[in-house]
Every structure is written in structure tokens, then in C-alpha cells.
A and B are shown apart, each in its own frame.
Chain A
Amino acid sequence: MNASGFSKMNELFDIFRLLGFQFFQNALLGGTIAALACAWVGLFLILRKEAMIGDGIAHTAFGGIALGLLLGVNPILTALLVSILAVLGISYMRRRGLAQSDSAIAVMLAVGFSTGLIIISLAGGFNVELFSFLFGSILTIDQTDLIIVSILGISTILILGIFYKELLSITFDEEGARLIGIPVRPLSLAFNLLVAITIVLSIKVIGVILVVALLVLPGLSALQLNLSFKGTTLVAIGIGIVSMITGILLSAVYNVATSGVIVFTAAGIFLFIAIYRKLE
């Protein structure tokens, strides 16, 4: 490593100095909002046995990102539009009996991703930008991105907070919830839209490929602790945020891909809890 490399490393080691940078503050704030929303939505997804819908919508969003880049519009917004269409498409296929849940997700995943590939080939490729959406580029979140992520994230968290007990009731016993007059279908659709929004707001943070990890790993880790629902939710959110912040700091220190380190941290926590429970 040359002298400038050492100097850069020294600079990165100074976490307090890093915190003074706008780009780093944006990354931490955007990442925390995304982690919170992902962990909460993800826990419901795991309990509804629909974790793969996260992966499906994320890949479908890829088509929306390509469309945004082609049209010169903010790709997060086009990804949001395409993801919402994907959710509505999956719901329609289920309701009409055209496909079971997993098959409907597979169809949307394939259609969305192939749309993205066609747009890329037609546009002659926009590799660097696209790469940042596929694998995330949290340190390049600008003020506009942060505003979009904040609005989407806080809206998601508020709606989850407001309909928390109804969503829990539907997740535990859908038929029973329907019987006591809870509007199951509208709330399930609203929840799936929240999944789409959460995924889209996380794309810039962690990327299309790895967003499912941010959805699933915190919830899976918390579930191993045999807590109440409230306890499991709080621990899942805590693990999501800790993974996010640790991942950002470690990736800055060691100069490696942030999304990879975030997922690695979350996976490490999952493994630690699994081993701890086994030895207990």
C-alpha cells in the first residue's frame, strides 16, 4: 500500500471525522430508515410465509430502474411504479386463480427482470449507474434520494404502526380476522404495497439483489429468541439497524462493498444467535 493509501486509511479510521461528512450522514440516516422499515415489514413477511415476494418484487423493480435511466427520470420513482404494478399483478393472479402465490411471484419476477434487460440492450447499456442499483451504493445517497427514502420510509412505518394490530390479527388467523369484520383483502393489498415501497426505498441502500436479506435476516434472528410479538418486533428492528450501521462503518473503514458488509453483519448476528441457542 502506498503513502496515499495509508493516509486515506487513517482518515477512514477516524469515525468521528467521517460523521461530519454530509454523504456519511445521508448514508446513516437513509440506511437506518431503510433498515427499520425492512425489519418490520420483513417480520410480517416471514410470518405470512411470503418472504419470496420480497425477492420477486425487488427483481421486478429492476425493470423500473432501467426504465427510469432510459427516460432520465429518478429511477427510484419508476421502480416504485413498476413494483406497485407488480404487487397488483400478483394479487390479481391470485384472486382470479390464474396462479398460486409463488407462481405469480415467479411470473412477475421474470417479466420485470426481462423488461429491464430489454431496455438496457435497447439503450446500449448504462452499466455504472445500473450496477449501483443492482448492488446498492449507500454512500452516494444525495439529498433528493434521502428525501424520497425518508418520505417512503416514514410513511411505511406510520401505516404499519397504525394497522399493527389488524395486520397481526390477519397474519395469525386470516379467517378469524375476516369473521370479526377486519377488512382482510384491502389490508393485505395495502401491506403488499408497503412491501413494494420498502423494497424500492432500500434499493439505493443495499441493491436489488440483496434487499431480501435486509427483509428476512433481522426477523429470522429475532424469532430464534422466543419472545413475544412486541419483543420480537423490537429486537428485529434493533438487529436491522445495528447491521446497517455496523455495515456502513466497517465498509468505510475497510473500503469494501457496503451492501455486502451489511448483509454479512446481519448474517453474522443470525449465526451467532443460532449457535447461542444451540449451546444454551
Chain B
Amino acid sequence: MLDNTQSGVMTEKTPVLEVSDLSVARSNSLVIEDANFTIHQGDYVGIVGPNGGGKTTLLLALLNIIPRTKGSIRLFGQDIESFSNWEKVAYVPQDAVNFDPHFPLSVRELVALGRVNRSNLGRTLKQKDWEAVDEALEFMGISDIANRRIGQLSGGQKQRVFVAKALVRKPEIILLDEPIVGVDAGTQEKFYKKLSDLNVAKGITILLVTHDLTAVFCRMSKVMCMNRLVNVAEITEQLEPAEFLRKAYGEHFHIVFHKHECERVFEDE
């Protein structure tokens, strides 16, 4: 795929995730059927679709947590079965924020857990690990609450903390499963803004499961809509959101989406 960069030179974008003929069944029922798509470096992908449409299942399959019925997944050019460089991949699960509020952990300690991996098993975190923690806290704008207990955080703060935990690993791709459920619209907007910054400033590929269609069509580069079948499209002027989304939501689905909604979103910033 070719990418028109700021310099005007056409460069080839590197595939990060290549999915071919992927089918996944859960409880003997097919949840994903014959999915084919490629995600490139720097893509910001919104995954939408009705509840039970297979969005979470897709993320879990991409992380090799659940088995495939058929098909192949390649991560950074390597078959997922032999892929070992999981430090490049970060995942924020749907229920990440539903932790025990009495768990005795400060924000800084929680984010530092993101530096724990197989390669530093049994070794204490080093200075550079703590520097990465502080950098992630600063990027997410939560340095001021670094010593606060995680049980004392608001919904929006919790989400930022978990993204910081994912970010501290210096990943090249982040998968987020509905990370902003149950917070007010203003907090949601700030959160999407931070993800956009992450995507642009650090070039991190983002796959985000969400029901916020405005955020998807205003901020992201690709939309994946799924209801067992997976459809992926570049978000361009030509893409008609309602028509595209009907592939997953059904013929009776209606959405009135105007360009000025995006202008409002960006004006608020």
C-alpha cells in the first residue's frame, strides 16, 4: 500500500497484521467467517459492529489467545504460531478498568507492571524501565496522579492509566477493546484525542473496538465493521458511512453523518 507523506513522496507502508481466510468458532458457533484484511503500520482502525458481532473474539484471535477454526494470521510478517516478539504488541482488555478497587497499587506501580515480561523474568526493574514509566505517565497527562491509589481514580483516569500501562512497553501496535465505556462525552473526546496523538506522534498502529461512530469516522484512518463477516474500508471522502455500516448492522440501519460533526470535534480541542 502506498502512503502520501507530508513530503509528498509516495512511500510503501509496512504490513503489521495480515489476516487470511480467518474463521473462529466459539461454543460450536461460527463467530468470524472468512475474514481477509491487512493492517499497515500507522493505521488507526476503528472496529465497530453490533453486540455479539465478534469484535472481542477477533482481538483475542489476533493475540492468539483463542484458537482459529481456519485461516492464518501474520504479525510483523511472521506467522502468529511462531511469533515471539510480543513486546511489540499491547492489549487493553474490555474489563481492564473493572479491577478490585481495594487492590493496593499506585498508578506508577500499575504502569510499571507493563514493563514486566518474559525477558526480564526474576530481575528487578532498572532505571530505564522507570524512565519509560514516567515518560508514559507524562504522555498520557497523568504524572500528577502517579502516586494515587488506583481505586481512587475516575473512569477517565483509569482508561488513561491502562493505556499508559500498554504504552510503557513501547509497543508498535495497540489493541483496545471498548476502553471508554461509562464515561462522559467530554472525557471520551479527550481520550480519543490522546489516542490520535499516540498514533501520529509515535506512529503506533491502533485497533480500537468502539461503538462511537463519530470518533471512528472523524479520527481514524480505517473502519472495520463486523457481524461474523468482516468488512474493512479506508475512511475517505468517498466512503458513505451509512451504506458501509449496513453490511454489519443490517438494511434498516440509518445514520446521518455530516462532515461538520468532525469539524465540531476538532474545534472543541
Q: Which residues of A have CB within 8 Å of B117?
A: 180-182
Q: Which residues of A have CB within 8 Å of B65?
A: 179
Whether a CB of chain A sits under 8 angstroms from the CB of B253 is no
Whether a CB of chain B sits under 8 angstroms from the CB of A226 is yes
**Given that A47-B103, A179-B91, A181-B86 are known contacts, is A169 also in contact with B122, CB under 8 Å in the complex?**
no
**Given that A47-B103, A228-B109 are known contacts, is A180 also in contact with B147, CB under 8 Å in the complex?**
no
Asked if residues B113 and A168 are in contact (CB atoms below 8 Å), the reply is yes
Asked if residues A165 and B103 are in contact (CB atoms below 8 Å), the reply is no
Measured in the bound complex, the distance between the Cα atoms of B185 and A261 in whole Å is: 56
**Given that A181-B117, A228-B147 are known contacts, is A162 also in contact with B109, CB under 8 Å in the complex?**
no
Measured in the bound complex, the distance between the Cα atoms of B102 and A222 in whole Å is: 12
Measured in the bound complex, the distance between the Cα atoms of B102 and A223 in whole Å is: 8
Asked if residues A165 and B124 are in contact (CB atoms below 8 Å), the reply is yes
- Give the nearest-CB partner of B121 in chain A: A166
Report the count of interface residues on A (CB-CB < 8 A). 27
Chain A interface SS verdict (over half) = helix
Whether a CB of chain B sits under 8 angstroms from the CB of A229 is yes
The smallest beta-carbon distance between B85 and chain A, in angstroms, is: 10
Asked if residues B122 and A163 are in contact (CB atoms below 8 Å), the reply is yes
Determine, out of A106-114, A170-178, A203-211, the stretch whose residues face the partner at the interface.
A170-178
Whether a CB of chain A sits under 8 angstroms from the CB of B198 is no
Whether a CB of chain A sits under 8 angstroms from the CB of B142 is no
Q: Which of B145-196 contact A (CB under 8 A)?
A: 147, 149, 151-152, 169
Q: Which residues of B have CB within 8 Å of A256?
A: none
A–B complex contacts, Cβ < 8 Å, 30 sampled: A47-B100, A47-B103, A165-B113, A166-B116, A166-B122, A168-B105, A168-B113, A169-B113, A172-B105, A173-B96, A175-B93, A179-B63, A179-B86, A180-B86, A180-B118, A181-B118, A182-B117, A182-B118, A183-B118, A226-B104, A226-B151, A227-B104, A228-B104, A228-B109, A228-B147, A228-B149, A229-B104, A229-B106, A230-B109, A231-B104
Which residues of chain B have a CB within 8 Å of any CB of chain A? 63, 65, 86, 91, 93, 96, 99-100, 102-106, 108-110, 112-113, 116-118, 121-122, 124-125, 147, 149, 151-152, 169
Given contacts A164-B124, A181-B86, A231-B104, 14 further A-B contacts (CB under 8 A): A47-B103, A172-B110, A176-B91, A176-B96, A179-B65, A180-B86, A181-B117, A181-B118, A182-B118, A223-B102, A223-B104, A226-B104, A227-B104, A228-B105
